[in-house]
């Protein structure tokens, strides 16, 4: 049975905590599953995700009405595939206010999408409270807590939310994979042979941790549907 198309929203109330790296791993994970995701990069004008996936990314400026319309029209204009949206922290509140105003949750669900929000919980209670408030606002869509172990997180087994841990990835490895020519997907397929052995092991551990968490999302959605 084919999986329901999903809209993945990667976000946080704080900046520089691994959102774009998580979105990048998510896109490559979906590609490895033959899901053909389309990416919406709201990190305007830098567009780090667009640099990693130039053929399947739209760069949008959420500070402008045209950018807001482009985001939602892109999704609703091409149904039946997965979407990954990377929301920068300065646009977090703005995005979800627009999300509410245009009834996007209801329209997307009517169009057959499931919505999954991956929220990077930072290392203080206010960030966890922001995640809790968002979980209420987007229900019955699914919110996933994500803990980046590099920066730490106040979130430890909180409530019933699914939690994904991003293992620590040191700066040397980050510098390597931030090169737009480096493909995480090719690395997972064994086609990136240029890394030193000690870097390879560190990246394998990181990707295994994140992908194990991503694999848990589909069973969690199935269980939530059964409980509904």
Token representation of residue 49: 């995700």
Q: Provide the CATH topology of domain 6-227.
A: Rossmann fold (3.40.50)
Mean pLDDT of 121-146: 93
- 160 pLDDT more than 90: no
Please give the Cα distance from 39 to 46 (Å, whole number): 15
- What would the pLDDT profile of 75-133 be if each residue is shown by its tens digit? 999 999 999 999 999 999 999 999 999 999 999 999 999 999 999 999 989 999 999 99
Q: What is the percent of the chain with per-residue pLDDT over 90, rounded to a whole number?
A: 77
Question: How much helix, strand and coil, in percent to the nearest 5, is found in the chain?
Answer: 45, 15, 35
- What would the pLDDT profile of 42-58 be if each residue is shown by its tens digit? 999 999 999 999 999 99
- 1 pLDDT more than 90: no
CA 100 to chain CA centroid, Å, is 19
Greatest alpha-carbon span in the chain:
50
Q: First and final CA of the chain: distance in angstroms?
A: 20
Average pLDDT of the chain is 91
The 8-class DSSP code of residue 10 comes to: E
- What would the pLDDT profile of 176-193 be if each residue is shown by its tens digit? 888 878 889 999 998 877
Please give the Cα distance from 163 to 199 (Å, whole number): 26
- 63 pLDDT more than 70: yes
Task: Sketch the domain layout of the chain as residue ranges.
Answer: 6-227
**So what's the pLDDT on residue 156?**
56
- The pTM of this model reads 0.95
**So what's the pLDDT on residue 145?**
94
Residue with tokens 């941790």: 209
Tell me the pLDDT band of 66, cut-offs 50, 70 and 90: very high
- Side-chain-side CA neighbours of residue 201 (13 Å): 2
**So what's the pLDDT on residue 152?**
82
């Amino acid at each position: 049975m084919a999986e329901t198309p999903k809209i993945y929203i990667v976000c946080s109330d704080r900046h520089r905590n691994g959102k774009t790296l998580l979105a990048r791993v998510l896109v490559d994970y979906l590609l490895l599953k033959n899901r053909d995701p389309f990416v919406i990069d709201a990190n305007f004008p830098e567009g780090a995700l667009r640099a990693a996936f130039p053929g399947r990314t739209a760069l949008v400026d959420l500070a402008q009405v045209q950018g807001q319309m482009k985001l939602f029209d892109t999704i609703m204009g091409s149904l039946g595939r997965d979407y990954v949206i990377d929301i920068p922290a300065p646009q977090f509140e703005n995005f979800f206010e627009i999300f509410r105003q245009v009834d996007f949750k209801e329209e997307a669900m009517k169009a057959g999408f499931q919505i999954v929000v991956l929220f990077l919980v930072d290392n203080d209670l206010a960030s966890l409270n922001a995640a809790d408030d968002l979980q209420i606002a987007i229900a019955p869509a699914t919110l996933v807590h994500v803990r980046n172990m590099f920066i730490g997180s106040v979130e430890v087994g909180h409530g019933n939310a699914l939690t994904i841990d991003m293992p620590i990835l040191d700066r040397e490895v980050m510098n390597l994979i931030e090169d737009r020519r480096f493909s995480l997907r090719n690395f997972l397929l064994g086609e990136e042979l240029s890394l030193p052995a000690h870097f390879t092991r560190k990246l394998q551990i990181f990707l295994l941790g994140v992908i194990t968490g991503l694999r848990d999302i589909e069973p969690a959605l199935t269980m939530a549907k059964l409980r509904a």
